Amino acid sequence: MAELPALSERIGRVLALDPSAPAVEFERHWHTWGELAASADAVAPHVRPGERVALLLRNRPPQLGLLLGLLRAGACVVAVNPGRGVERVRAELGSLTVTTVAGSLEDLQAFAPRIRWFASDTLGALTVSGEAPARVAGAGEDDQDPDGLRPEVAVEMLTSGTTGPPKRVPLTYETFRRVLAGAKHYERSPDAGLRLRRGVVVVNAPLVHLGGLFRILQCVNDGRSFCLLERFRVEEWADAVRRHRPSTVSLVPAALRMVLDADLDPTDLSGVRSVISGTAPLSPEDADAFQARFGVPVLTSYAATEFGGGVAGWNLADHERYWAAKRGSVGRAHAGCALRVVDPDTGAPRGPDEPGLLEVRAAQLGADSGWTRTTDLARIDADGFLWILGRADQAIIRGGFKILPDEVRVALERDPRVRGAAVVGRPDTRLGAVPVAAVEPRPGVTVTAEALLAAAAGVLARYELPAQLRVVEALPRTPSGKVDLAAVRELFTQQP
């Protein structure tokens, strides 16, 4: 029998520390570590280390129990978002070549009625359909054998899919171990001892996104209880923050703007020392507005699914010292990580403040991982602070003029009437391509496309102005809170 990964062993040991202690609160009801352990125990007999299991993952305790059970057993979790719609989820399951699917009974009956499954609608209870798939004759326990075992991979996680079809990225148990160890560098008490800790973390990011998954693994790895929200709603989130008083909260830019627009009293966040914000660009104006209103600094970060988490970000000390001079930056490289900007054509490194393509050497991928080239345009100053300037693969060439959609988006979002904007390219027979924009106004604001374009004309070049602008009630978003640019394009391709 293959030895289980260190993370699997750690999960099992934490779940057994104090079975009666509260572990996760959901809809104001607490579940214990013992209940989570019972759920994990129920899963273990039905999977082998390395076995790929598709998990229809929602932010609910039963699915959380399935997730921990699969990871504790050393399985490979293929994360599937059941919120994408019946046809798309069925097509995705059909393309995964998995023999087992896990989730709630309702989801499994809708999406995978003919595939072997195990269902959980309460913690500790499991319903199993069918027999375990037969092993391939002669296959070794430690091999990535022909029937699909991936013993090193913890999770196959989809990227956000903001610009096109999501890509599935394999993240290893060792990567998560390194990410969790690296996160200790930023904690006030970096003790990694095996014990239950005080305090309650509020988890509002979706578990099908790396941000939500990492936060759950961090809590379980540390033995820290948490409040799980099924989805982000301002009032539910604020209620959890008021009751549990976490020192740090995590808000994607869209959620942060919703909190800014809500009628919350600054005392609601009186226990919060910092807000972590990532996954999408956050304007420095919104960060400053949040701190001015609530007295809480916003620490932006840079991460990617391919890296298994963050590689750069702000900390409180840097924010206090540098924010006024370097607002808009996403911070400096995390401990052990390295960043550089290179010429897109030659690959030659560029100097301080010279724009180019960002390359990352991520500590969590191992010492011999080398440099990974991203599609992000960036610059790094002499103090090591990183600015993301846009995506190289989204540049729009309009009659020979190069337009970066993020620069147009930022100009639109400077308008106080605008909550959020998205800019994409649309093919044009004469010019090659033109920018078009969708804009979500702030609550209670009525504004026309003509008025927004007139305001933007004061800060954008004429060729940068969107050829068409649509005011929408809400921008389409992915589960992680990023604007879904593929869906934005569809808004314009549907036009006559």
CATH 3.40.50.1000 assigned to 6-177: no
DSSP state, 467?
Answer: S
Distances (CA, A) of 134 to 3, 139, 466: 21, 11, 57
Sequence ranges of the chain with CATH classification 3.40.50.12780 = 6-177, 193-392
Local confidence band at 400 (pLDDT 50, 70, 90 cut-offs):
confident
Confidence of residue 370 (pLDDT cuts 50, 70, 90): confident
Strand partners, 391: 376
Supply the pLDDT for residue 428. Answer: 86
Which ranges in 343-484 belong to alpha helices (H)?
Answer: 405-413, 449-456
pLDDT at 107: 93
Would you tell me how many other CB atoms lie within 10 Å of the CB of residue 195?
11
* pLDDT value of position 141: 37
Q: Give the pLDDT mean for 145-166.
A: 72
DSSP code of residue 435: E
Q: How confident is the model at residue 147 (pLDDT cuts 50, 70, 90)?
A: low
The domain over range 395-493 is classified in CATH as 3.40.50.10140: no
Q: Are 409 and 425 within 8 A, CB to CB?
A: no
Taking 60 as the threshold, does the pLDDT of residue 145 lie above it? no
Q: What is the pLDDT of residue 135?
A: 41
Beta partners for 338? 361
* pLDDT value, residue 136: 34
- Mean per-residue pLDDT for 373-401? 89
At 109-133, the pLDDT tens digits run 988 877 888 999 999 889 988 765 5
**Which position has the higher pLDDT, 279 or 477?**
477
End-to-end CA distance of the chain: 62
pLDDT single digits (tens) 184-221: 766 666 677 899 999 999 999 999 989 899 999 999 99
pLDDT for residue 165 is more than 80: no
Confidence at residue 84, expressed as pLDDT on a 0 to 100 scale: 78
Query: Which two tokens mark 56?
Result: 């229809």
pLDDT tens for residues 435-482?
999 999 999 999 999 999 999 998 998 999 999 999 999 999 887 788
DSSP class of 483 = B
So what's the pLDDT on residue 146?
47
pLDDT of residue 454: 95
In the prediction, which pLDDT does 144 show?
A: 45
DSSP string of 288-308, one letter each residue: HHHHHHHS--EEEEEEEGGGT
Residue 76 scores a pLDDT above 50: yes
Sign of torsion, CA 37 42 44 50?
negative
Q: What is the share, in percent, of the chain residues with pLDDT greater than 90?
A: 64
What's the mean pLDDT when you consider all of the chain? 89
Whole-model pTM: value is 0.82
CATH 3.30.300.30: which residues of the chain?
395-493
pLDDT of residue 283: 86
Question: Which CATH code fits 193-392?
Answer: 3.40.50.12780
Tens-place pLDDT, residues 299-323:
999 988 888 888 999 999 999 999 9
What percent of the chain is predicted at pLDDT more than 70?
Answer: 93
DSSP secondary structure, 94-124, as one string: HHTT-SEEEE-HHHHHHH-TTSEEEE-SSTT
The phi and psi torsions of 12 (rounded to 5 degrees) equal -60, -40
